[in-house]
Amino acid sequence: MLTGVVQPGSRLLDIGTGPTVYQLISASRFCTEIVCAEYAEANRAEVLKWIKGEPDAYDWNSSFQYVAGLEGDSSSWEARKLHLRDAIKAVIPCDVTKPDPLTPHEYEQFDAITSMKCLEAACPTRESYSEAVRSITRLLKPGGTLVMISVISESFHTIGGQKFFTLTLDENFIEEVLKDAGFNAIDIKTFPAPRLNQDSSIWDSNVSDFGGMAVVHASKV
């Protein structure tokens, strides 16, 4: 968002918001309309609680303080909270496995789309992942910006003793899918998982086989 590609006054769609808002803090500086699209009703409810300032909403203050510090004005974090609350205009259901992920809601194409660890959790195969990318691409204006954060080389993760599937991705596959969907200026930066040594990850292999992260930035043709 800070590269200048996303202009002030832009409209943003966040796909797979989850129960969190930290990923939208920087975006709210530029995007005056943010639509949060999330599959799980419980997650949508958490975001709405935060927007309304309900007493049992999760406290994101430390995230706002951290981001404001990174952006060079640590004293602005409280104002940034109000700014983000005002920028989020809707929290709606979303199913990326459908041809129209936002049905029954209809919107004009967005200037920017963000998505973080969503498609690899929702799509059971590489074919369905490719279809999902094409579906969300139709929601983006020509010349619009896509920003994704994906896990790579992971097939599962465990939360609270429950094991969850993750579609295994790699940098080359992600780039190929984006090109086929009509993107150019594709920039993918990968960050391998920290390791204790050459043969051992710091991650408990019973919790995840996480291999790293990919930060993806691309423009729709």
Which pair of structure tokens corresponds to residue 163? 């094991």
The position carrying tokens 């969300």 is: 136
Q: What does the pLDDT read at residue 150?
A: 97
Give me the phi and psi of 12, to 5 degrees please: -120, 135
Q: What structural domains does the chain harbor?
A: 10-220 (3.40.50.150)
The model's pTM: 0.93
Q: How does pLDDT run along the chain (221 residues), one tens digit per residue?
A: 445 567 889 999 999 999 999 999 999 989 999 999 999 999 999 999 999 999 999 999 999 999 999 999 999 999 999 999 999 999 999 999 999 999 999 999 999 999 999 999 999 999 999 999 999 999 999 999 999 999 999 999 998 889 999 999 999 999 999 999 999 999 999 999 887 666 666 667 788 888 999 999 999 99
Q: What does the pLDDT read at residue 197?
A: 62
Q: What does the pLDDT read at residue 205?
A: 76
Residue 121 CA to residue 45 CA, distance in Å, equals 20
Which pair of structure tokens corresponds to residue 77? 């974090």
Q: For residue 35, what are the β-bridge partners?
A: 13, 90
Give me the phi and psi of 167, to 5 degrees please: -70, 125
E strand or H helix that includes residue 69: helix 61-70
